[in-house]
Amino acid sequence: GAVVSQHPSRVICKSGTSVKIECRSLDFQATTMFWYRQFPKKSLMLMATSNEGSKATYEQGVEKDKFLINHASLTLSTLTVTSAHPEDSSFYICSARGRDGGNQPQHFGDGTRLSIL
């Protein structure tokens, strides 16, 4: 089945650091990737939708300058949390779907747990 790899799985860093998270589709071409954020004991909240070769679409309330998304190829999207602060600590999960996968299940990465000290 389709596999999505997310890296790193865990990051601990100091306040003010920028952190990059990678999301790769391993066996299919991901025309669209999604970035979610999940707080403890809460559900997944969509942050942005990333289409290959174009600018990401951010959900209301998500700062595009804070959370930079790049989807430069059909197998890789990156999320960079710029100048991270403790309130950015969270579980970030990406998902991906292929070219004809609009109404198909998204495939999720294993998530990145980000802790900002």
- Interacting residue ranges for another protein, rule: CB under 8 A: 6, 32, 34, 41-46, 49, 93, 95, 97, 102-111
Smallest distance from another protein to CB 25, Å: 14
* Residue with smaller CB distance to another protein, 1 or 86: 1
Smallest distance from another protein to CB 24, Å: 14
* Residue with smaller CB distance to another protein, 8 or 16: 8
* Residue with smaller CB distance to another protein, 59 or 63: 59
Tell me the DSSP string of the chain. Answer: ---EEEE-SEEEE-TT--EEEEEEESSS--SEEEEEEE-TTS-EEEEEEEETTS--EEPTT--TTTEEEEEEETTEEEEEETT--GGG-EEEEEEEE-TT-TTS--EE---EEEEE-
